[in-house]
Chain A
Amino acid sequence: MIRICLLLLITSVSMAHASEIVQAYKAKKTGRIIEIYRANPKRAYTKKEFIVISYALRKQGLFKADILVNVRMIKKEFAKEHKKILADIKKGATIDADSYSKLLKHTYWNLMNDYGRIMQGYKSVSEINPKDREHYAVFSKILSELEFREGQVDKLNDKITAHIQYVQNRVYRFTYGFSLQYLSWQQQSILEGAGSSTNLIVTNKGYCAGGELGMENYLFHFSLDACFLLGSGGVSSAGSAINYQQSNVPAYGVKAGPGVSMIVSSSKSRIGIKVPIVYNLQELAQPNQAGYEVKTESPLSIVTSLYSRWQFDSFYIQTEFGQYVGKDETLWSLGIGKSF
């Protein structure tokens, strides 16, 4: 008698839960459905209840919990069909998609989407779980074999691949490289005389050999580069007060500074800015005319420059065009390099 009463009690409680889940679904109270499920997750739910719970969990973004529900439903309702399709795929046998129930296909679809949503939530490489990718791939393969929502499956596959790639691409990695630039740069000098002065136009050309260190991800490249300048230039007076002219005056120095660039294509071509410091040593001869003296301003100049790089695999061509801060002089360069 006691046993019968207990059985009736359990059954009535169970039925109360069942009706409550359906009622909550009808009342669109997904939170309540989840509460009921969480209160007794291991209970033997019916097919209909599983569907409702799965719906509620997905709606609340509880994809991991939804995976458990769907897996339980497959084990309970479709164990035979599931085993068969896995075996057929393994064997490479022809699959008759129509022989599988529609609900099972939907369940696979939900599972693939759950894993997809979990992976789309990855924000860093450390969050990437190979198991998620593995399971996602299994359900994607099953759905393709069952020819179920093929277009949407492919679309989601692309989306997931792109997101994983994006997460991996965001990681900054150390880079270094070597370059040789042909460049032209200027130097400010003044020819001073008694009571008057005239600017000297010093235009140099030469080569700059060096390298760079940097950190780069798929979108940005932060770098510090330096190179040794070696060249020569011509000098002329800008004014007509005195004629001053020199050619092939040797010049050497260093050009070094930080830069940041934006990577604009999958070929890794980039545009950016650099703020190099140019240290230029160049000795100009004093004029023959008495009373005049050449005064070279500080050999140190800061340049703000626009920078572009066109990458062909690990080799690149780069350009730089800049103006000296607070001065009229400019600098430009065209170079080749190799990055690692």
Chain B
Amino acid sequence: MVYRFLTFPLFIAVTILCTIEAKAYTNFIGHSYTSCLNCHYNPTGGGPLTDYGRAVSATAISSKMLYPDSWSEERVAYASGFLFRKPKQKWLRTQINYRGFQVVRNPGSERTEEKQWINMQLDARLILKFGQNDKFVAVGNYGYAPLPEGVEEQTEWRSREHYVGYRFTPKFGVYAGLMDKAYGIKVLEHIAFSRSAPQVAQNDQVHGVMGHFLGEKWEITGQGFAGNLGQEAELQMKGGSLMVERTSFDIHRLGFSAMKSKNEFLDLTSYAVHGRFNLKEGSAVLAEIGETTKTTFNKTDDRTMRYGLLQTYLRPFRGVYFLSNIEYFNKDVEQDDYTVRWGPGLQFFPVQRVELRFDAYNTRNFSTSSSTKDSWMYLLQAHLWL
């Protein structure tokens, strides 16, 4: 019954192990936005933007270079709505979102270079909101996502998220439906070890209920989930997560997360500590370190993984961010071998609705038994939204 309610016809949950992008810009703490709820309907970030979030994107994040000089910030903000219009009513919002990229693996290698354009995401989003301060919201996000190699007989169209939320007070709200798990820093990179190891990446949404508290200093999110109900029952990861953050020195955030989930084959226990630091004028540093203990039903792949993330966004001009992405991953803490992935990048918002991004990833393996050549990958990404 609950399942039917949550997957109403327009947003049928189709489970596929494919790649979508968690669209959350946690680095915007550099613009003094400590909580995701300022700009997103989802209190943990990602997904559709609120009207305020769209205005911030237009007036603080994106460059103003393509607007006429005579346009005030207020006018730019008004033009940030769907199809460049100021909404005529309060209760309905629509959004369209596209993201695609060219991935180049082993660039420069005559034998092994691979180039591929991937349409990562094409979403239509519908938001219904009612009451004072939009205390009731219903969000649906349906779209295209490519299937991973080898997966057949599944549709490439799916519901990315659908949920209803009610804020009993500005400080406390409850949300129910298909959502991302509340765990760690929701960085944009879906290949990040900090997202893949605890299984909170782009295809790991779950049906569940989330309680969210937002106080002066503290932000606490608790979630109980029954897995993705579109999956076969034995694959559904059931469990719960808790994420706690505290504002420090007025502008930084320190936090921790814990999560336990299991299905018939796998049991995962994860915990992490993280920090988001405001370097002012839009620049920020994100850091997370955590461990995931994996227990398999046949005991063949039991291990504890350790990961670390250090990501910088330095903003020399409005609309431009230089990235430095450093990741650490030890797939088994009992072993000394580990991997470090280092990636400089550039993110450019020439105008609201357009994001262009370049990322380079250099992966180096450290092993006691061998020394291997680094691997390289480039990503050229375009993200458009209406």
Contacts and interface: CB of A to CB of B under 8 A. Distances in A.
A217 interface: no
Interface stretch (B79-87, B113-121, B143-151, B371-379): B371-379
Q: Which of B279, B315, B322 has the most CB of A within 10 A?
A: B279
Contacts of A270: 314
B371 A235 contact: yes
A197 to B, nearest CB: 16
B141 interface: no
B297 interface: no
A234 B370 contact: yes
A271 B362 CA distance: 19
A334 B316 contact: no
Interface in B287-344: 310, 312, 314-316, 322, 324, 326, 340, 342, 344
B280 A184 contact: no
B76 to A, nearest CB: 21
A264 interface: yes
Q: Specify the main secondary structure of chain B where it touches its partner.
A: strand
Interface in A303-333: 306, 308, 310-311, 317, 319, 321, 330, 332
A267 B362 contact: no
B364 interface: yes
A161 interface: no
Contact of B324 (A201, A235, A245, A308): A308
Interface residues of A, number: 30
B344 A321 contact: yes
Given A203-B366, A271-B322, A265 B283 contact: yes
A270 B324 CA distance: 12
A334 B326 contact: yes
Contacts of B193: none
Contacts of B373: 201, 238
A203 B315 contact: no
Nearest to A219: B316
Interface in B334-369: 340, 342, 344, 362, 364, 366-369
Contacts of A321: 324, 342, 344, 362
Interface of B: 277, 279-283, 285, 310, 312, 314-316, 322, 324, 326, 340, 342, 344, 362, 364, 366-374
21 contacts: A184-B340, A234-B368, A234-B370, A236-B371, A247-B368, A247-B369, A265-B279, A265-B281, A265-B282, A266-B280, A269-B314, A271-B316, A306-B344, A308-B312, A308-B322, A308-B324, A310-B279, A319-B310, A321-B344, A330-B374, A332-B326
Given A201-B372, A245-B371, A264-B281, 4 more contacts: A233-B371, A264-B314, A267-B281, A332-B342
